[in-house]
Amino acid sequence: MSSTTAGVIFIVSLVVVLAAVYRPAGDYLYRVLTPTKHSRLERGVYRLIGVDPDGEQPWGVYARSVLAFSVVSILFLYVFLRIQSHLLLSLGFANVPPALAWNTAVSFVTNTNWQAYSGESTMGHLVQMAGLAVQNFTSAAVGIAVVAALIRGFARSRTEHLGNFWVDLVRIVLRVLLPVAVVGAIVFIAAGMVQNFHSASDIHTLAGSTQTVTGGPVASQEVIKEFGTNGGGFYNANSAHPFENPTAWTNWIQIFLILLIPISLPRAFGRMVGSNKQGYAIVAAMGVIATASIVLMNVAQGIGAGTATTAAGAATEGVEQRFGVLQSATFGAATTLTSTGAVDSFHDSYTSLGGGLAMLNMMLGEIAPGGTGSGLYGMLAIAVITVFVAGLMVGRTPEYLGKKIGSREIKFASLYLLTTPAIVLVGAAVAMAIPSARDSMLNSGAHGFSEVLYAFTSAGNNNGSAFAGISVNTGFYNTALGIAMLLGRFLPIIFVLALAGSLARQKPTPESAGTLKTYQPLFVGMLVGVIVIVVALTYLPALALGPLAEGLS
């Protein structure tokens, strides 16, 4: 079987299985987010943390709970990293320096998982398990909890209450993330992933040299790394490392895990607002953008210009040969369309247009299908803007899901939309203006600028992948990217929860003959159009200076 045929089968089978699990997985998420009964284990957790599980919160209290939990998580992880050398299973590694500890703590708590270090030579096993992996669970759960609150804002009326953050957090971890992580870890161990507490071992290679290889609890961390759209790898090579991704079928499972929750959440959204058609419309818009991205990424990598690329038959530089170009390009599209950041090939080695597409995927806001929760709440914020634009075109008050979209709602949605581009573009501009930051660039010209733009795009959108041709373990980049990750995560969350609170207080507006049918193909097309046009207008000048200039040169 040719590599092209294998790649096509790989992609088609992935689409078919994702389509098959859309309803059952979405229905399960709906059942997790809506019941009033609590299990005995959950009640024990609520007593431990002093929470009344039957008490609901208005949007301000919900937002403060999210922020308080995240601040405590950052402080805990920062201290954990700073005292690493005194912990069990430290493997003799030193304490993580302050700037890097700040960057890493913010990175994992914000679901970014940006890594300015090599995991196998920097982090001990206890830090990996009790520090980083724990945040892989909780940061993913926070994203799902926030979108659940937004959906309740659409579904409820004449109320201040959006649910209880602590209840949402506990349920999502115990009923969704943890069970899949346990089963998935067993599957990955059977596939050949490492799961031990070994320190570094010297291995003699076939070429007669010696290589130092570190063991560790890899398989258990790998599942939640992908399932929670986290992305931080145990090893520096991430999912290109055979200990993290041994075979083509584990590569398939990893992409499936990345997409499973984001693809299924629109079904839960439809169930919660009482119209499955609304969920189909949202997932259709996600599917259109994702399909275009995957196709274009594979084309860019398959027929890239250049003598070497033409001679090889595709852009094979930076590609793990076990997977080939099509599987690697599909993984690259999936990981940048979501907020995952895991890689099984290296994006800095992509063709200029392929790397530009990876950036564009993140610049879209990672909404097709996006991260766990963050993808759907981003898509719903843009849907609000789309409905508002449609209302202006026909001269009537815009409505979405029975709620009027007035000046207050559109302000929150617009602030959500503008926050990340401001972080990305200002951050990249500052980096290019500071000599010490420019010194970190290993390449000059358009490609060097692309590396800086990619770094801030990845941090501001909480993705975590990197072009890697830039030295980011410096005081400037650890601080600046940490700030970008922090603002890029929590400012949008505040605006989303404020939007949810504003919607929940409204009384429902009955559908009339002039109401825009937001479940029909016309709305799906308008939604995709608004996404593409807004992103193009926002980022096109920066892309023209980087990947487009390089690709056209």
Domain ranges of the chain: 3-277, 372-552
pLDDT at 189: 95
Name the one residue in this structure whose structure tokens are 């990340």: 420
pLDDT at 410: 95
pLDDT at 213: 82
Q: Contact at 8 Å (CB) between 464 and 112?
A: yes
In terms of Cβ atoms closer than 10 Å to its own Cβ (0-12, 13-18, 19+), residue 318 is: middle
Identify the H or E element spanning 404.
strand 403-404
What are the residue ranges of helices labelled H in 366-517? 374-394, 407-433, 435-438, 445-460, 475-504
What are the DSSP calls for 222-281, one per residue? HHHHHHTT----SSTTGGGSTTT--SHHHHHHHHHHHHHHHHHHHHHHHHHHT-HHHHHH
Q: Find, among 207, 286, 228, the residue nearest to 464 by Cα.
A: 228
In terms of Cβ atoms closer than 10 Å to its own Cβ (0-12, 13-18, 19+), residue 17 is: middle
pLDDT at 96: 95
Coil, helix or strand for 189?
helix
* Residues linked to residue 203 through DSSP beta bridges, in sequence order: 211
Q: What is the pLDDT of residues 73-122, one digit of tens each?
A: 999 999 999 999 999 999 999 999 999 999 999 999 999 999 999 888 89
∠ CA 113-114-119, nearest 5°, is: 85
Phi, psi angle pair for 465, to nearest 5°? -75, 165
Q: Contact at 8 Å (CB) between 550 and 542?
A: no
Name the one residue in this structure whose structure tokens are 């997985």: 25
pLDDT at 480: 95
Half-sphere exposure of residue 224: CA atoms within 13 angstroms, side-chain side: 29
Phi, psi angle pair for 319, to nearest 5°? -100, 130
pLDDT at 307: 54
- The span from the CA of 479 to the CA of 266, in Å, is 36
- Name residues of the chain where pLDDT drops below 50: none
pLDDT at 202: 81
Tokens (6 digits) for 358 = 């990876």
Distance (Å) of CA 246 to CA 219, 250, 322, 327, 538: 11, 7, 9, 14, 40
pLDDT at 5: 81
